[in-house]
């Protein structure tokens, strides 16, 4: 039986680790033709090897915050796949190591690096995708990665001002574009996870106070979520099952937004 993404030509930006890697595995299982992109050649080669039990895909190195790199990525992806049907942008950073933190402590470097990695990158990849989708005129889908911290803050443990701003910006950009391009058959949606157990969240996941906090804040798991939780949601939103869905923000949060 054909999978839900059978024959779909898909690009996952940030697909070599964490949430993006889990999505890549599920996309391949669902029949997608896939390219994954990321900054590190070594991580990319390792990811394609680890994905082989699920299917084969190509890796293209790319700094998604660099305009020329993004244009090269999309040109190469469309050449290899013969076009593009789905963009899933997962790539981003936490920004703490650059100086992100509470507003009164957030450094200019932390602000600029976080917004470049998290917000400018989404602008560049989404723009590149929409330009190609408008030329192709198929039904097409973009899925972007935000965070529950964009609209459900928790400053005791997660007080990162630039990160929250970047993730809120992703929601605003996605809704604006979803409204603009719906008549062109382009669907644009957002996933907003809570704390997911990935390499990027290792500091938080290892913190005993945070794990105690999650017992009530994420009651469905009473701990961090799994990358596969986001992957299953992504398959739905990128498939024809969601053909009547655009402009939504889907919290994948274990109950974070409805819990105290």
List active site positions. Answer: 163
By residue count, the chain amounts to 260
Handedness of CA 139, 134, 86, 19 (dihedral sign): negative
- Can you tell me the distance from the alpha carbon of 94 to that of 120, in angstroms, rounded to the nearest whole number? 15
Cβ–Cβ contacts within 10 Å for residue 251, how many? 20
Angle between helix axes 121-136 and 67-81 (nearest 10 degrees) is 40
160's tokens: 């990162």
Collapsing DSSP to helix, strand or coil, 242 comes out as helix
Is 54 in contact with 28 (CB distance < 8 Å)? yes
Cβ–Cβ contacts within 10 Å for residue 102, how many? 10
Query: Residue 215, CB half-sphere, CA atoms under 13 Å: how many?
Result: 6
């Amino acid at each position: 039986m054909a999978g839900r993404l059978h024959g779909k030509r898909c690009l996952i930006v940030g697909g070599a680790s964490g949430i993006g890697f889990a999505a890549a595995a599920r996309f391949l299982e669902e029949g997608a033709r896939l390219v994954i992109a990321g900054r590190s050649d070594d991580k990319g080669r390792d990811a394609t090897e680890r994905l082989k039990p699920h299917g084969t895909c190509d890796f293209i190195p790319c700094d998604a915050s660099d305009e020329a790199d993004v244009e090269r990525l999309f040109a190469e992806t469309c050449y290899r796949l013969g076009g593009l049907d789905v963009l899933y942008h997962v790539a981003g950073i936490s920004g703490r190591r650059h100086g992100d933190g509470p507003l009164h402590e957030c450094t200019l470097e932390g602000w600029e690096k976080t917004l470049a990695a998290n917000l400018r990158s989404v602008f560049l990849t989404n723009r590149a995708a929409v330009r190609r989708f408008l030329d192709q005129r198929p039904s097409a889908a973009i899925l972007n990665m935000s965070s529950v911290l964009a609209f459900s803050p928790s400053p005791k443990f997660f007080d990162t001002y630039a990160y929250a701003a970047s993730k809120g910006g992703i929601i605003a950009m996605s809704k604006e574009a979803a409204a603009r391009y719906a008549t062109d058959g382009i669907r644009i949606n957002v996933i907003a996870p809570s704390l997911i157990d990935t390499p990027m969240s290792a500091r938080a996941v290892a913190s005993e106070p945070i794990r105690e906090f999650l017992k009530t804040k994420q009651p469905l798991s009473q701990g961090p979520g799994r990358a596969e939780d986001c992957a299953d949601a992504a398959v739905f939103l990128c498939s024809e099952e969601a053909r009547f869905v655009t402009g939504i923000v889907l919290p994948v949060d274990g109950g974070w937004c409805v819990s105290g």
